[in-house]
């Protein structure tokens, strides 16, 4: 019966503790938005506090409980560890003060010492009801008064994986410390086993929830990355247009000057000048229709870069990229990195008159294919086998960011169950990417 009473009191205590903690750390609304996490926290808190009271020595038990609360609340609310420690300390001191005051009052009224009050079931229930009622009133008062501790919610967000490992380490420590008690009181061995199983089941559920949340956050971050890349591409296009506008103004002034001079062959010269200018404008940059706006923006910028380097960039999207179930950020990164690699390869040919990079998409019976080729120098068989290795680069420059583009490409392609092959001759080097048309990612529907 006493364990049941302790459990009920700890459930109420855990709920109030969570509400005040989220209020102080500026994560208010957490309980409403994360009902499952809140329920798991309440069960874990109640279970750990109740069981450790029974199986861990008092001094060590209090210390472990404090560490447990700091880590667990920091983990489930994604709060900085320092903020979690401060908020835990404040709530603990508030609740501890109420508990001490109530116990002192009960001692005076009932003429009983603290130990007797704590061990007598009726006084324990009475004291528990009074304490929890006062804690509830205090919680409501603090929230209504809108009292906040500035900067706690502004601290850097934590590494949840590290916190999960720390929590697991703490649970192992609690189990090891409790072994002495279990061997001495074998009658509670079943209770001890139930405790271990329930705790790890709850931790497993928390881990699954956290994993799903990280997947969702990664998807959001990828979307932001894609948007950021798109904005950069738009800025690149605008810079090209600004440059063209400036050049166009110069060209108009040149034509005006030729008209003013009005030499006998002025009309013919102006005609030739405009024809050359038109060819240049057409070749400066292209707008593509790949089926993906982010890729279109990226290729528009790269076409301008290709023109400046004397490279012809061709693209033939027979099958639009929207047919692929791949995130905008990832497909832009795949095509962009391989295209950059092709540009780098062609640049090493010197002043060759015919420099060409081609991008094409097509389908066969089972696969969606993307081909990116260039007519730069051949890649040796030895280098082809290492070209997707992390840090490998054929560039002479020793800059730290070289050697990771194609490695990233392969990781992204494999993420979507795709494969990439490289063939290289003196005439052409081709990267051929194949994705299965069933639209699956890592064996799961995308």
For residue 354, report the phi and psi dihedrals to the nearest 5 degrees. -110, 95
Domain segments of the chain: what residues?
2-184, 287-445
**Which CATH code fits 287-445?**
3.30.565.10
| DSSP-derived secondary structure for 230-250 | HHHHHHHHHHHHHHHHHHHHH
pLDDT for 293: 83
44 CB-near residues (< 8 Å, 6+ apart): 72, 199, 202, 203, 206
pLDDT for 154: 55
pLDDT for 393: 63
Report which of 159, 307, 329 is spatially closest to residue 233, judged by C-alpha positions.
329
Report which of 152, 187, 161 is spatially closest to residue 79, judged by C-alpha positions.
152
Tell me: the pLDDT tens digits for 411-422? Answer: 889 888 899 999
pLDDT for 222: 62
Q: Which regions in the chain score pLDDT beneath 70? A: 1-2, 28, 54-59, 147-168, 170-196, 198-200, 202-203, 206-207, 210, 213-214, 216-248, 251, 277-286, 350-353, 390-404, 438-446
List the 429-436 sheet strands across, edge first: 312-317, 356-363, 367-374, 429-436, 419-424
Measured at the alpha carbon of residue 11, what is the angle toward residues 7 and 14, in degrees to the nearest 5?
130
Overall pTM surpassing 0.75 (yes/no): no
Tell me: the pLDDT tens digits for 79-129? Answer: 877 888 888 888 888 888 898 888 888 888 887 777 777 777 788 888 888
């Amino acid at each position: 019966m006493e364990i049941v009473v302790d459990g009920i009191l700890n459930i109420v205590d855990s709920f109030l503790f969570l509400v005040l903690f989220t209020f102080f750390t500026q994560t208010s609304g957490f309980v409403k938005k994360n009902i499952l996490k809140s329920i798991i926290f309440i069960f874990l808190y109640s279970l750990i506090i109740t069981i450790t009271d029974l199986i861990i020595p008092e001094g060590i038990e209090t210390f472990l409980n404090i560490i447990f609360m700091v880590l667990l609340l920091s983990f489930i609310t994604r709060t900085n560890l320092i903020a979690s420690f401060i908020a835990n300390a404040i709530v603990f001191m508030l609740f501890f003060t109420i508990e001490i005051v109530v116990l002192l009052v009960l001692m005076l009224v009932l003429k009983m010492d603290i130990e007797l009050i704590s061990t007598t079931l009726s006084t324990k229930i009475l004291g528990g009801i009074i304490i929890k009622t006062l804690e509830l009133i205090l919680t409501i008062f603090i929230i209504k008064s809108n009292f906040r501790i500035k900067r706690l919610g502004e601290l850097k967000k934590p590494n949840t994986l590290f916190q999960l490992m720390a929590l697991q380490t703490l649970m192992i420590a609690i189990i090891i410390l409790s072994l002495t008690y279990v061997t001495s009181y074998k009658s509670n061995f079943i209770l001890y086993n139930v405790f271990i199983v329930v705790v790890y089941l709850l931790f497993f559920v928390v881990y699954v929830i956290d994993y799903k949340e990280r997947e969702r956050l990664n998807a959001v971050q990828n979307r932001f990355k894609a948007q950021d890349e798109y904005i950069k591409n738009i800025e690149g296009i605008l810079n090209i247009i600004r440059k063209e506008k400036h050049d166009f103004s110069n060209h108009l002034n040149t034509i005006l000057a030729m008209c003013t001079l009005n030499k006998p062959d002025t009309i013919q010269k102006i005609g030739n000048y405009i024809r050359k200018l038109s060819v240049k404008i057409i070749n400066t940059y292209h707008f593509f229709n790949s089926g993906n706006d982010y890729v279109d923006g990226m290729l528009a910028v790269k076409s301008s870069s290709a023109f400046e380097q004397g490279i012809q960039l061709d693209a033939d999207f027979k099958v639009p990229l929207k047919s692929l179930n791949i995130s905008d950020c990832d497909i832009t990164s795949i095509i962009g990195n391989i295209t950059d690699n092709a540009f780098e390869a062609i640049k090493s040919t010197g002043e060759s008159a015919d420099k060409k990079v081609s991008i094409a998409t097509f389908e066969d019976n089972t696969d969606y294919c993307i081909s990116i080729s260039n007519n730069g120098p051949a890649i040796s068989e030895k280098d082809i086998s290492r070209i997707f290795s992390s840090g490998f680069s054929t560039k002479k420059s020793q800059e730290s960011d070289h050697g990771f583009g194609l490695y990233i490409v392969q990781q992204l392609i494999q993420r979507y169950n795709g494969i990439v092959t490289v063939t290289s001759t003196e005439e052409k080097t081709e990267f051929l990417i194949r994705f299965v048309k069933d639209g699956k990612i890592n064996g799961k529907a995308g």
